[in-house]
Amino acid sequence: MKIKETPLKDCYIIEPTIFEDDRGYFFEKFNEKKFEELTGMNGHFVQDNISKSSQGVLRGLHLQKGEHAQAKLVSCLEGRVWDVAVDLREDSPTFGKWFGIELTAENKVQMYVPRGFGHGFSVLSETAIFSYKCDNFYNKESEGSVKFNDPDLNIDWKVEDHKMILSEKDLNAPGFHEKNF
């Protein structure tokens, strides 16, 4: 397992070491001890979530606020997604910056999204199955969001606007300066 820093403080890319032969492949998806040694971040997860989405679906930008804030370890189990993290921690040197990476079933790369970040993804393949490991339990009253197309963030979602499929909630999310985080 290799851990790489992203341009965002405390946000990491995890690349597995894959062992392949005629039978298929094997890799260690996550190792809490290694993760904590290499990043100094808590790697204890308490909830796993899976979503399946069609091409053009955009989910985000979402977060949990306050005592229910969540760090997430995300990966794509089937298909391809463009995954985006936005630093919403006002005391961070990378506040208001975003980072995106293509996560696929083939590359098996994961992204660690720390607490205080907004997160979202768009589906680039016909369908995608996406996995979220969370370090805190979901709490509906602690939901936060930021408008996916806020001009101050200027995120490239890798999907043409007219092909995006969004929930009503995401279409009506508050802007970055409304600070719903």
For the question of residue 132 being annotated catalytic, the response is yes
Q: Which of 12, 112, 132, 177 is catalytic?
A: 132
Which residue is catalytic, options 12, 62, 112, 119? 62
Give DSSP secondary structure letters for 47-75. Answer: EEEEEEEETTBEEEEEEE-GGG---EEEE
Q: Taking Cα atoms as reference points, which of 108, 93, 106, 96 lies closest to residue 175?
A: 96
12: annotated active-site residue:
no
Q: ∠123-149-60 over CA atoms, to 5°?
A: 50
Neighbours of 88 (CB within 10 A): 22
Catalytic residues: 62, 132
